[in-house]
Structure 1
């Protein structure tokens, strides 16, 4: 396998893999990673290499398995022998880490998936997904020749539709799983989706600071609760 596994590493301690949302570009994750690096070796995955020189290059349609298999290979490369990693993903990254847990639980110590937009799992999922996709119609709408020029263009053209159509598989026993949603997202679709997935997948539900972009808006508080969730195992419900 010659594929480059684009990522950044900071801090020391147990490995914590972060999979960002959108098209996987880790823009704005610096403050969160800096706070988490006080307790963890933070490995921030950039699945499409958008922050590592590939922004603007052609991108094929993505599947959650593309990201989760890359994350698995990355963990094999960075994990010390015999150790397990904590894994956090938000938004589309949350879908990827759920897929990673279903496919490769053996090297995982705990997983937190924050507001994964896999709304198809809901009883009214087809209707809710159609509404979600409609929210993005016309928001950027780049022409085909420019769709890879920005992270949002890549997300709209190649990530949004296949990821929101994904139905996570039930994970094997033995790895702590928490589904998370922001306090400011109460009453919204992705809060409801996270609660539903926690019940369906046998995980717990944790309410985090902020809304869908809580990782960016409240990095200090978000990192503190994420650290507590992983290291204490106290996946307490809101």
Structure 2
């Protein structure tokens, strides 16, 4: 693995850590979950053979501190950060963008906000659940997660969240109600969700990472990692501690950063980003620049469904990448090879 050129970019309310590799057309990689720039380490060098690859830690995560740790997080602000990075590295140049999970949400907004600068977006499983016909049930689930986070701490909330994400839908994503308004509030929620959607805690009142239950004090054996996290699903805090003892120092530090970022991700990013409503009409008008992707192994699961839903609405192909929602971490070689192929199909 080559050593990237690292830098710091001052943006409103935060300082971003970013990394640049290679030469050629500009490619911005937007990470999801708590992975940060390091989540692309398994594919960035190969992509850098044909691109100038820019990766970074989103604001509030890892090496990109916020000025105000309590600041509300918004998709539009994160997309503006991404645009400022593009302007820094290659002012005025067209760029290709690939994003995973919450990073894919940012990529969608970046495309609609700056279509004159974005030649292609590959969006892998953006969990924009508000586009789904059963959106009200997912709002209820998210409210339950936040309530559990406040009352019981990080790991119990993460367990509920992960279970909801991996629970197969009651109907195939290919046979859902045609695109249209989301199911009104008051519709029946999934069996495990009992909290009213109206009781969801606003993102700006989420528990501070400093006050949430630390990962190393959690006791839930069923805890799984958040979507997009580089920590494999099913990983408990005790398992992470045990694994760190066997990892090289750099890898152990990455795991520590991932776990330390989980309270911020679950408490601030998840409720705001999963409440985001993309501009479907604008995305459809730009669909010739949009590759919607999903994991082969996550068919029917919640993060898979919005990509499938939008692809059907736009009349475009849903591209299946190896693995599930975290295929970038579990199948990096195959994931990177397919991503490179999709990028090369579009001439700038």
Question: TM-score by structure 1 length?
Answer: 0.86
The answer to whether the aligner puts 1:131 opposite 2:141 as a matched pair is yes
Secondary structure at the counterpart of residue 167 of structure 1:
coil
Q: Where in structure 2 are the equivalents of 1:80-91 lying within 5 Å?
A: 81=92, 83-91=93-101
Cα deviation 1:31-74 (Å, max 9, x = unaligned): 12122222221100222163326389725221110111111111
User: Residues 103, 80 of structure 1: CA spacing in aligned structure 2 closer, same or farther, 3 A cutoff?
Assistant: closer
Deviates more, 1:85-94 or 1:128-137: 128-137
Give the one of 101, 121, 127 matched to 1:111: 121
Cross-structure match for 2:186: none
Cα deviation 1:87-125 (Å, max 9, x = unaligned): 011111110000001111111110011111111110111
Give the one of 32, 35, 59 matched to 1:21: 32
Uncovered stretches (5+) of structure 1, i.e. residues with no partner = none
CA RMSD across the alignment: 2.9
* Alpha-carbon separation, structure 2, partners of 1:8 and 1:220: 20
Cross-structure match for 1:122: 132
Give the one of 182, 189, 209 matched to 2:302: 189
Contact 1:25 1:151 survives alignment (8 Å): no
User: Residues 200, 59 of structure 1: CA spacing in aligned structure 2 closer, same or farther, 3 A cutoff?
Assistant: farther
Secondary structure at the counterpart of residue 106 of structure 1:
coil
User: Residues 59, 42 of structure 1: CA spacing in aligned structure 2 closer, same or farther, 3 A cutoff?
Assistant: farther
User: Residues 6, 176 of structure 1: CA spacing in aligned structure 2 closer, same or farther, 3 A cutoff?
Assistant: same
Equivalent pairs counted in the alignment come to: 233
User: Residues 64, 193 of structure 1: CA spacing in aligned structure 2 closer, same or farther, 3 A cutoff?
Assistant: same
How far 1:176 sits from its partner (Å)? 1.2
Secondary structure at the counterpart of residue 303 of structure 2:
helix
Contact 1:12 1:37 survives alignment (8 Å): yes
Cross-structure match for 1:34: 45
Cross-structure match for 1:162: 272
Contact 1:13 1:40 survives alignment (8 Å): yes
* Alpha-carbon separation, structure 2, partners of 1:40 and 1:103: 23
Give the one of 101, 104, 107 matched to 1:97: 107
User: Residues 109, 29 of structure 1: CA spacing in aligned structure 2 closer, same or farther, 3 A cutoff?
Assistant: same
Uncovered stretches (5+) of structure 2, i.e. residues with no partner = 1-8, 158-205, 215-258
Contact 1:24 1:47 survives alignment (8 Å): no
User: Residues 108, 56 of structure 1: CA spacing in aligned structure 2 closer, same or farther, 3 A cutoff?
Assistant: closer
Secondary structure at the counterpart of residue 116 of structure 2:
helix
* Alpha-carbon separation, structure 1, partners of 2:344 and 2:89: 20
Larger Rg: 2
Cα deviation 1:181-235 (Å, max 9, x = unaligned): 100101212212111122345653110011111111111111111111111149x
How far 1:6 sits from its partner (Å)? 2.7
* Alpha-carbon separation, structure 2, partners of 1:200 and 1:60: 35
Give the one of 291, 302, 317 matched to 1:204: 317
Secondary structure at the counterpart of residue 207 of structure 1:
strand
The answer to whether the aligner puts 1:43 opposite 2:43 as a matched pair is no
